[in-house]
Amino acid sequence: MLEIRPSCENCNKSLPNDSSQAMICTFECTFCKDCVDTIFLNVCPNCGGGFTKRPTRPSHLLEKYPVSSKVIYKPVDMSLFEKLLIRFKDIQARKR
């Protein structure tokens, strides 16, 4: 089950359960749409994969299956990410 993490790992922008700005990779790395589109160019800085819109947990299930409150805030070191970006930015996410 998805954790539904509460914020962007890079800029710490709040991404509540109902946010339309939350993006995740296959390992559930969570970033805001602004970071994904303008900084990472759809390349996950942790695994090199692509991103998709994070689903929203139905509100009637939140009590039984609460979303995560654990903040993972670790701004990306752009000098290290640049190598990954150069390697993957021109390859479709499904072919990386």
Tens digits of residue pLDDT in 48-90: 999 999 999 999 999 999 999 999 999 999 999 999 999 999 9
Tens digits of residue pLDDT in 4-47: 999 999 999 999 999 999 999 999 999 999 999 999 999 999 99
10 within 8 A of 38, measured Cβ to Cβ = no
The per-residue pLDDT for 17 is 98
CA–CA gap between residue 89 and residue 61 (Å, rounded): 37
Q: Establish if 73 belongs to a structural domain.
A: yes
Q: Establish if 56 belongs to a structural domain.
A: yes
Q: How far is CA 41 from the centre of its chain?
A: 12
Q: Establish if 12 belongs to a structural domain.
A: no
CA–CA gap between residue 25 and residue 62 (Å, rounded): 22
Query: How many domains is the chain partitioned into structurally?
Result: 1
Q: Establish if 7 belongs to a structural domain.
A: no
**pTM above threshold 0.75:** yes
Q: Establish if 16 belongs to a structural domain.
A: no
Q: Establish if 14 belongs to a structural domain.
A: no
Q: Establish if 17 belongs to a structural domain.
A: no
The per-residue pLDDT for 25 is 97
**Nearest Cα to Cα of residue 68 among 26, 14, 29, 17:** 17
Q: Structural domain of residue 60, as residue ranges?
A: 22-95
The per-residue pLDDT for 45 is 97
